[in-house]
Structure 1
């Protein structure tokens, strides 16, 4: 791994080292070297041999290379590093170099450590330990950097009470923010609830057969409800469904049904619904589905690759009743009354029951 190294202050003068007349000036050589390195991807680290391979410096003189790279480092355009005990360099954007030149020594020191933290940010206590600055000095440097909009303070999900800093131009990583389920470091419970409810409703539609709704009655024959009757009907429906959009009748599909959705399908459906302002990842949707499975509202089928909604039997006052009969073939068997141990119809020889167990 490459680590930052201290530049050599003894070699930073514009000297030609005996170059013949007519050769480009030292500044032009440095500009050419910087321009060539800037064509590489960001964070690329150059060693001495790679810089010499560009054939920009006359005779590829190593001493001249060190002089020019040290001057570029002094100007903030190169960052001197060490890799495997050898010197190497990384290009710094001109805009970032201008920032460093506008900072005091303490501010530049603080900024460098915050910059190195990237999208993870750095805790203020750790920042103070690394810079070894007095608290008052560090706080003053941080305040000045914030006023210039170079850095910003962020909240982390793991340690919400810690002061953490990162570059103002960067967005925190999901490990810091907690992903789409958090807002300003606080769990958005309403968002989680709505996303879970939508996912469950989608899976319900793929898990059960719903009979066609009856034809709507003609307007003239439709009874008119009073205000009290309408409110009571609404309250009864809410108690019955627990807010879950279910039909009165939900019948299981036959054995061999393969329409239960997998995680990728559910994720695509959620993103297509535009319910969330951000694009959800499969890992994030998987977290929602895991919660629904733990709550007994979903279950994994087909070797854990697909999801099926669990039908809940709701009694009076919205109390959920446990009744596995509603999901097994027995719940809709036409000869259920004849089924008995050692009888002509029994669970041991029932082909439908065996198929159901293999789902």
Structure 2
């Protein structure tokens, strides 16, 4: 891939990032070229800007979900690369053609995932459910595995099109489409969950088990479950 094309991709992706910290991290990874950036190097860079390791991890997940970067595990060491410069041995998801990101196909797949979440009724809408429904869709032209579906779901969560929350009743992560776009799914009939705290939480992107910001210790969710 020539430098002209790389610069074009960089400028286009860079313009789509709203947060300055995300721009700094993405630029750092791009500048590493084929050498890649380790988790430690990413953490150390962002610490200079007052960003915690947990926040850096969330930024990396966001960039990966949007397919701006790729992560490769090498001897238990995580390395991050600009997608276009990732090692050729990397197994790219089905929405890549000849090593290039197919934006239209990826968009179609994300719409399929979002629709699957939106129309689900009286079921536990977790990753297993979404994967089973999407993989059995007769219109699907490529084979998706669970990791592929998870990447698509993460992209929707990062974009704010889908909300991820920890279901205390089912002990798993579940998903829903925000109320303004129509809420369906497990126990969401009648708009009962339209006041779910996660939908308004500014830390939703950092909320995950073991991160220090998680639903089981969230005061707002506990109050909400008690009807307060």
Alignment TM class, shorter chain as reference: 0.3 to 0.5
TM-score by length of 2: 0.40
- Rg comparison, structure with higher value: 1
The structure whose RCO (Cα within 8 Å, separation 6+) is larger is: 2
Q: Which has the higher helix share?
A: 2
